[in-house]
Amino acid sequence: MASIRVLHVDDEPRFLEFTATFLPAIDDRLSVVTEPTPADGLDRLAADTIDCVVSDHRMPSMTGIEFLHAVRTDHPTLPFILFTGEWSETVASGALAAGATDYLQKRSGTEQYELLANRIRNAVEAQRAQRALRRHEQLLEAIDEPGCVLDATGTVRLATPALADLLEYDRAALVGMDADEFLLDGAHTTDRSPDRGETPTRSLDEVAVETADGRRIPVDRTTVPIAAAAVDGRVVVLRPRPPDGGHATFISPSRSATAEMPESSQPTPTTDPARRTTDDHGHDIVSPLQAGLVTVSTSRAEAADPDDPGGDRIAALFDEAGHRVVDRRLVADGIEPIQDALGDLVAEPTVDLVVVTGGTGPTADDVTPEAASALFDRELPGFGELFRRLSSEEIGTRVVATRATAGIASATPVFVVPGSTNAVELATEAIVLEEAPHLVGLSTRHLTDDGSM
């Protein structure tokens, strides 16, 4: 699991000190920030990237449940654990009814922090798993393909409207159905999810589906293991084959890495033939990818010991998918520092693409989109459009303040995204890792000897 940033709110300083000390000692993936009041906690949530909130209940200005209601206004799915010395069925049921993820009573001894760390890990892992599944469903719906997400047992977790239309089933009836009921000959069992550390691969084969009324339809099937540590499953797209027996034209839901890059190997140029190939339809692919990362944050750039949870999450996601980040920069907000860092990276032959995080909001010092766009030779407007569409599922109308953008600068795809962990996960998992291998291949094709592979 990737790193987890915890916010603990409690009016008793000793408990704040204990969680800040014991949780990272129990699991070094946990980092803790503390606040003494719910009001301070809300300010921290607005300014920082938080993966889980831990809160006391009895506090002078606001109860833990009242704090939970305030948190849910802007963070409807953020894991929230009520950690209180007061044990009451009324408080426990009220917390869970208000949307708390868990309820844990404070006890004496350090064992309670082992339990709290476990509850935090479980809550965050479950939320990340649900978010990953939802994003894959959104992508399938966006490309209007008959598709589904299967879990490790072959059970349908998510199904698209196009799949329900193809099979002539009610969409709700497909969820929970064993794929053997419509994929003939148990075809889904020929592929498996990747083991931890193994690179996800995409496969294409010919199968058939059976509709609700018993008709058999030949289809081309694309299967992609989901490249998310918290999810064991795969995305399956089923496209009816043309009557002439040819293959359907696919809009692939993923272009995951097809080769693993040894961690110790030196970065190679994007034009390296060893990393250039084509997919099943002759489309240019560069994989494994070598990415540059620019984090834009004045407060972090000026800190003596800066952290970068969003950048760390991007690096982890690239690593899980078989790619890697080969150059990271941390710069202050401002046109010049952003363009200096971005200009250096797009000029580097071993950097295939660049992800820039932070500074995409509507305030006066949020100038990352302007700084990056000035370097674009060509814009990729579809990235920002799709990112905002997917983001609206999580943050609603607040998406209007998000100015994510993308373009090609010096033959290098550049993606500009907000700096929060949720935003970078969404952009990286749902769009960048899916499309970057192909975009890099296309944008650098003219740099190969003859313009082809």
Overall size of the chain counted in residues: 453
| Verdict on whether the full-model pTM lies above 0.75 | no
**Helical spans, DSSP H, in 38-197:** 38-47, 64-74, 89-97, 111-142, 161-167, 171-174
CA 225 to chain centre: 15
Domains of the chain: 4-131 (3.40.50.2300), 143-240 (3.30.450.20), 273-447 (3.40.980.10)
Q: Which of 425, 427, 421 is nearest to 403 (CA)?
A: 427
> How many Å from the N-terminal Cα to the C-terminal Cα in the chain?
37
Is 92 in a helix, a strand, or coil? Answer: helix
Q: So what's the pLDDT on residue 195?
A: 43
Q: So what's the pLDDT on residue 303?
A: 85
pLDDT over threshold 70, residue 70? yes
**Cis preceding linkage at 243, omega within 30:** no
Q: Which residue has the higher pLDDT, 200 or 322?
A: 322
Q: Which two tokens stand for residue 280?
A: 């099943």
C-alpha span between 428 and 187 (Å, rounded): 30
pLDDT digits (tens, 9 = 90+) for 286-307: 989 999 999 999 988 888 888 8
Range in 246-260, 355-369, 383-397 with the lowest mean pLDDT: 246-260
Q: So what's the pLDDT on residue 158?
A: 84
Banded pLDDT at 442 (limits 50, 70, 90): very high
pLDDT digits (tens, 9 = 90+) for 334-351: 999 999 999 999 999 999
> Are 287 and 275 contacting, i.e. CB atoms less than 8 angstroms apart?
yes
> Are 407 and 376 contacting, i.e. CB atoms less than 8 angstroms apart?
yes
* Number of CB atoms found within 10 A of residue 10's CB: 27
pLDDT over threshold 90, residue 83? yes
Banded pLDDT at 431 (limits 50, 70, 90): very high
